[in-house]
Amino acid sequence: MAGARGSILPPMPALLNWFLRLVPTNPIVMRLVFVGSRQLRHLYIRAGYLAVMIVVLLYVLIDPGRGGALSLRELASDGANMFQHVSFLQVALICLLTPVFMAGAIAQEANPRTWEIMLTTPLNNLQIVLGNLFGRLFFVIALLLSSLPLFVMIQYFGGVRGESIMVSYLVAGSSALLVAAIAVTLSVTRTAGKRAVFIFYISVVMYLFVTAAIDQILAQPRPGAVAARFTSAVTPLNPFLALRSMLDSNVYAPRTREYFDGEPGTLTLLWMSRPVAVYCWLCFGLSLILVTFSTLRLRVIGARTGSVPWYRRMFGLSAKGATEREPRPVGHNPVVWRESVARGRTLGAMAGRWGFVALGILLGIVVLTLFHTGLLGAEEFRTTLLAVLTAEIVVITLAALNMSATSVSREREDGSLDIILTTPIQPGPYLRGKLVGLMQFLVPMMIVPVATMGMAAIYVALDGLGRDGGVMLSQPQPMGTGTIDLPVVIPEGAIALPILLVPFIAFCVMVGLHWSIKSKGTIGSVIAAVAVVLLVAGVVSLCGQVGGAQMGVFGSVLAAASPLTLLFSIVNPAEWIPSAMADSPGGGRLGLLIGAAIFATAYAGISAGMHSSMKRSFMMTVRRLAGTK
C-alpha cells in the first residue's frame, strides 16, 4: 500500500526516457542553459546581436538621397535589398558568435579533470556529447529566433518570399551546427585548450576568406548576361557564397543543365545547380560524422608518454609533459623572452605561425604569377589580392588580440601572477616586456602582408616585367567624364602599409593587455578586447571611407585611418578615394603616405598613453584581483 500511495504517475518507458535524456532532459543541457541564461555576458551578446541587426536594417531602409513618395515596385525593391543585407549580416554574426558560445566546450571541457568527472556519471557517451553540443548551441538558436520578427517585418515591403527567409535561417543554422560540432570534437579529443580557442576562431575566419578567394578565381562569366557569372565548385562550401547564389541569382547564378558541355553527372549537376541544398546537407552530414566520432572516441583517450617523438626532436622540443628541458638564454628582460620565445615553443604554435608565413608568401607569389600569365584579369587580380591581404591582416589582428588579452589573465588563472608579484620587477618593465615580446612574436606574421604588397608594388614599378597588356587599368574617371589610367596597385602602398600596420597592431596589443589586466578570465578578456577593437576600427574605417570619397586630397589622408581602408585605397583608389583621383591622382597617392604617417603616430601615441595609464594603476588592479580564478 505504501508503494501504491507513493507512486502517483506510471513509470516512464525506458526507451522514451533514453531518448529524452539525449537532449530535452539531458542534465548537461539543462545545466548549460540554466547557468548561461543567468550570465550578463550572454545577455549583452544577445542584445548586441539584435542591436546590430536593427541598425543595419534602418541604415538600408533610410536612404537620405531619395525623396518623395515610393511606388509599390520601389518598395518591393527596397524590401529585397533589406532582406539581402540582413541575411548576409545574420550569417556573418552567427559565424562570429558561435565560436564565442562554443569556447567553453573547448576551454573548460578540454580539462581532463572535467571529463573524468563526467565519465563517472550514469550518462552514456552519446548523452555527454549531445549535451555539450546542444547545451551551448541553444544560445545560438535563440539568437536566430530573436531576429525572426525583423524578417517578418521586411515582408510588409514585398519582394521577399517566405521560402527565402526559411532558407536563410537554414543556412545560418547549418553553419552554427557544423562549427559547434567541430568545437565539441576538439574538446572530446583533448586536442585543444584555452590557447586553442582563438586558433579555432581564426580558422573559421580564414576558411571563409580562402574559399571566397578561390571562388573568385574559378568563377566563369555567364553567356548572354552583362557582369554576371556562374557559381563555382567551392560555392557549396561557403555559407555566404551559397546564400548569395539564392539572393543574387541574376549576377551570381547556379549552373543549370543547359549550360554544361555535354550531359553532366547527377552529383555534378546537383553540386553546381543546388549550392544551398548541398551546403546544408554537407553541414548536417559532417556534423553527424563528427558527433559519431566523438561518441566513439570519448572513452578512448591515450595516456601521455615521456618519450620524445621524432617530429618534436626535429623542432628542438622536449617530450610533451616533460618536467625538465635544456636551459635557454633569457636576455635582460625575462618578460620579453617569455612572450616572444617561450610562448611559441610548442609544436602547434610553431606549425601555425610558420605555416601562416609560408602559406601567405606562397599565395602572394601564386596570385602574381596568375596575373602575369593572363589567367587573372586586372579586376580579378585586384579582388583576389584584396581578399588575401584582408584575410592576413584580420588574422594578425585577431592573433595579437588573443595573445595580449590572455597574457596577464592566463597568469592569473594558473597562479603564476601571484608569484610574479613577489619579485622585484616593476609594472613599467613588466608591461613593456609584454608589448615588446608580443610584437617580436608577431613580426614574422606581419611580414607576410607587407612582403605581398611589396612584391606587387615592385612588379607594377617594373611595368609588369613585359606582361601582355601591361599593369595599367583604364577606368571611368571618378566624379567626372572620360577615363583615367591607374596601375592595378599603387606602388606607394609598399611603404604606407608597414608604416601604419605596425603601430596599429601595437595598439591592439595594448588594448588586449588593458582588458587582460582588468578581467579575471581569459575568455572574458578576449571577448572584451575584440569588441573594443572592432568598435574603434569600424568607426575609424567608416570615417576614412566617407572622407576618402568626398574630401579630395585631404580625403586620401583620412582613408589611411585604418589598415583595411588604406589597403582598399591602395588597390582600388578609383572607388575608395574617387575625389582625390579626380582632383589630383599624384596628390591622392602622396596623401595616402602622409595619412599613414599621421595615423601611425596617433596609434603610437595612444599606445604610449595606455602604457603610462596601465603602469600607474597596475599594482592596485592586479593586487585587487590576485588570487581569483
- The pLDDT tens digits for 329-345 are 555 566 666 666 656 55
Backbone angles phi and psi of 533, in degrees to 5: -65, -40
Residue 531 has pLDDT above 80, yes or no: yes
Q: Is 23 helix (H, G, I), strand (E, B) or coil?
A: coil
Query: Which residue has cell 616533460?
Result: 322
Q: How far apart are CA 258 and CA 391, in angstroms?
A: 36
pLDDT at 306: 44
Alpha carbon separation from 209 to 214, 235, 464 (Å, rounded):
9, 12, 27
Q: Is 64 exposed, middle or buried (0-12, 13-18, 19+ CB in 10 A)?
A: exposed
**Each residue of 211-232: pLDDT tens digit?**
888 888 887 887 766 667 888 8
Question: Strand pairing partners for 475?
Answer: 484
Residue 14 has pLDDT above 90, yes or no: no
Residues 6+ apart with CB under 8 A from 483: 474, 475, 476, 477
Q: How far apart are CA 458 and CA 490, in angstroms?
A: 10
Backbone angles phi and psi of 485, in degrees to 5: -95, 120
pLDDT at 329: 53
Residue 1 has pLDDT above 60, yes or no: no
Question: Strand pairing partners for 486?
Answer: 473
Residues 6+ apart with CB under 8 A from 204: 95, 99, 179
pLDDT at 450: 92
Residue 528 has pLDDT above 60, yes or no: yes
Question: What is the full DSSP assignment across 357-386?
Answer: HHHHHHHHHHHHHHHHTTSS-HHHHHHHHH
Contact between 501 and 393 under an 8 Å Cβ cutoff? The reply is yes
- Please state whether beta strands 483-487 and 472-476 pair in parallel, antiparallel, or not at all (unpaired): antiparallel
Contact between 625 and 521 under an 8 Å Cβ cutoff? The reply is no
Alpha carbon separation from 397 to 15, 391, 404, 511 (Å, rounded):
51, 10, 11, 11
Q: How far apart are CA 516 and CA 198, in angstroms?
A: 15
pLDDT at 49: 79
Share of the chain above pLDDT 90, in %: 9
Beta strands in 380-513 (DSSP E): 472-476, 483-487
Q: Is 252 helix (H, G, I), strand (E, B) or coil?
A: strand
**Each residue of 452-494: pLDDT tens digit?**
999 988 988 888 877 777 777 776 665 555 677 778 888 888 8
Contact between 227 and 133 under an 8 Å Cβ cutoff? The reply is no
Region for 377 from its dihedrals, namely left if φ exceeds 0, alpha if ψ lies in -120 to 50, beta otherwise = beta
Q: Is 16 helix (H, G, I), strand (E, B) or coil?
A: helix
- Please state whether beta strands 252-253 and 472-476 pair in parallel, antiparallel, or not at all (unpaired): unpaired
Q: How far apart are CA 321 and CA 346, in angstroms?
A: 11
Comparison of pLDDT for 286 and 201, the residue scoring more: 286
Q: Which of the four pLDDT bands, split at 50, 70 and 90, describes residue 420?
A: low
Query: From the CB of residue 544, how many other CB atoms can be counted at a distance below 10 Å?
Result: 27
Closest CA to 402 of 505, 504, 500, 509: 509
Q: What is the pTM of this model?
A: 0.59
Question: Strand pairing partners for 484?
Answer: 475
Residue 628 has pLDDT above 70, yes or no: no
**Each residue of 157-186: pLDDT tens digit?**
666 777 788 888 888 889 888 888 887 787
- Please state whether beta strands 252-253 and 229-230 pair in parallel, antiparallel, or not at all (unpaired): parallel
pLDDT at 232: 86
Q: How far apart are CA 611 and CA 608, in angstroms?
A: 5
Q: What is the mean pLDDT of residues 298-325?
A: 51
Closest CA to 498 of 436, 541, 590, 560: 560
Q: Which of the four pLDDT bands, split at 50, 70 and 90, describes residue 285?
A: very high
Looking at every residue in the chain, the average pLDDT score rounds to 77
Q: How far apart are CA 441 and CA 406, in angstroms?
A: 15
Burial 178-208 (b: 16+ CB within 10 A, else e): bbbbbbbbbbbeeebebbbbbbbbbbbbbeb
Contact between 381 and 489 under an 8 Å Cβ cutoff? The reply is no
Please give the angle made by the CA atoms of 534, 540 and 543, to the nearest 5 degrees. 135
**Each residue of 88-103: pLDDT tens digit?**
888 887 777 777 666 6
Residue 283 has pLDDT above 70, yes or no: yes
pLDDT at 7: 47
Query: From the CB of residue 236, how many other CB atoms can be counted at a distance below 10 Å?
Result: 26
Comparison of pLDDT for 351 and 271, the residue scoring more: 271
HEC string for 499-518: HHHHHHHHHHHHHHHHHHHH
Q: How far apart are CA 137 and CA 147, in angstroms?
A: 16
Alpha carbon separation from 253 to 84, 85, 152, 242, 449 (Å, rounded):
15, 18, 26, 10, 32
Grid cell in block for residue 458? 615592385
Closest CA to 280 of 333, 219, 236: 236
Q: What is the mean pLDDT of residues 64-90?
A: 67
Contact between 518 and 532 under an 8 Å Cβ cutoff? The reply is no
Q: Which of the four pLDDT bands, split at 50, 70 and 90, describes residue 508?
A: very high
Q: What is the mean pLDDT of residues 23-28?
A: 78
Task: Looking at mean pLDDT, say which of 290-299, 344-353, 404-413, 599-608 comes out highest.
Answer: 599-608
Contact between 618 and 426 under an 8 Å Cβ cutoff? The reply is no
